[in-house]
Structure 1
Amino acid sequence: MENDADIVYRVNYPITSQQFIDLLSETSLGARRPLADDERIAKMLKHANLTVTAWQGEALVGVARSVTDFTFCCYLSDLAVSEKVQKGGIGKALIAETCRQLDTACRLILIAAPLAEGYYPKIGMEHHHSAWTIKAGEFPA
């Protein structure tokens, strides 16, 4: 999929840990991801089963990294667009392409970064009032 002359979108196109780290470093999401842990970043990429990327020439400028069953739910874990190209519709295009990969009844789910909370209603996403988290090592016995 190509959105404009500058940006090319690719589905499940391989990216390196370093490309992912470099992109996240250019976004507010980087502060909340383990950028110093290359092994963990590599596992995050390896185990995602749907990744949509945005490229400007050879540069990775956007990513939507998801874990999904493609039919009931899709957790969009990372939506990141380089601050150098934000406000150009890349985030919206990444979400749209992610949705095109899913069955029409599949629900897209994401947890917004605090600085991005105002973005999602503008593109038609609905706020859900409850989400719960727990770290694997903290689950009570």
Structure 2
Amino acid sequence: MNIDYKINQAISAEQFADLLRRSTLGERRPVDDAECIKGMITNSNLVITAWDDETLVGISRSVTDFHFCCYLSDLAVDLSYQNLGIGKQLQIKTQAQLGPKCMLILLAAPAANSYYEHIGFKQNDRCWVLNRSEKIKI
């Protein structure tokens, strides 16, 4: 199997949502909200995709300034293509696009939490999340 990796290859919201459904991320992403999915993919400024011929099988979707920090928002690999090193290659290729001082930051899916330490990430207990349904207390 020859997987082809592409940097900032345009993909449709439908392709993105379909891949999320075929991965473990579909259950934690708004795959049935077409407007949100479209905004997620069109407003990302670093997208690395993995292709098996014409089939999108993986994605690393990030928002970054390329110099200080890169938030890797989605790392998804089709379930039938997992454990082949595609996710790791997507991260390597993402990091290769960043400046030498740029941190790669992500929030791990519960089932993948132990994976990231194995490949060199350091766990940080200083992350805070405010969901959109919540308001900043005044």
**Pair in the same fold by TM > 0.5:** yes
Partner of residue 70 from structure 1, selected from 66, 72, 85: 66
User: Is the 8 Å Cα contact of residues 28 and 115 (structure 1) preserved in structure 2?
Assistant: no
In structure 2, stretches of 5+ residues that fail to align are none
Counterpart of 2:48 in structure 1: which amino acid?
V
Structure 1 position 125, deviation (Å): 1.2
Q: How does 1:1-141 map to 2 (within 5 A)?
A: 6-136=2-132, 138-141=135-138
Tell me the alpha carbon deviations over residues 56-77 of structure 1, each in whole angstroms, 9 at most, x when there is no partner.
Answer: 0100000000000000000000
**For residues 123 and 58 of structure 1, what CA distance do their matches in structure 2 show?**
29
TM-score, with length taken from structure 2: 0.95
Aligned length, in residue pairs: 137
Tell me how far apart the structure 1 counterparts of residues 30 and 132 of structure 2 sit (CA, whole Å): 16
Q: Match for 1:8: what amino acid?
A: D
Matched position secondary structure for 1:40:
helix
Q: Quick one: percent identity of the two aligned structures?
A: 47
- Structure 2 residue matching 1:78: 3-state secondary structure: strand
Aligned with 1:84: secondary structure? Answer: helix
Q: Which 5+ residue runs of structure 1 have no aligned equivalent? A: none
Task: Kindly state the Cα deviation for residue 130 of structure 1 after the two structures are TM-superposed.
Answer: 2.1
TM-score of the two chains, using structure 1 as the length reference: 0.93
Tell me the SS of whatever aligns to 2:94: helix
Query: Could you tell me how far 1:119 is from its partner in structure 2?
Result: 1.2
Whole-angstrom distance in 1 between the partners of 2:132 and 2:26: 22
Instruction: Give the superposed CA RMSD.
Output: 1.1
Q: CA deviation at 1:118?
A: 1.6
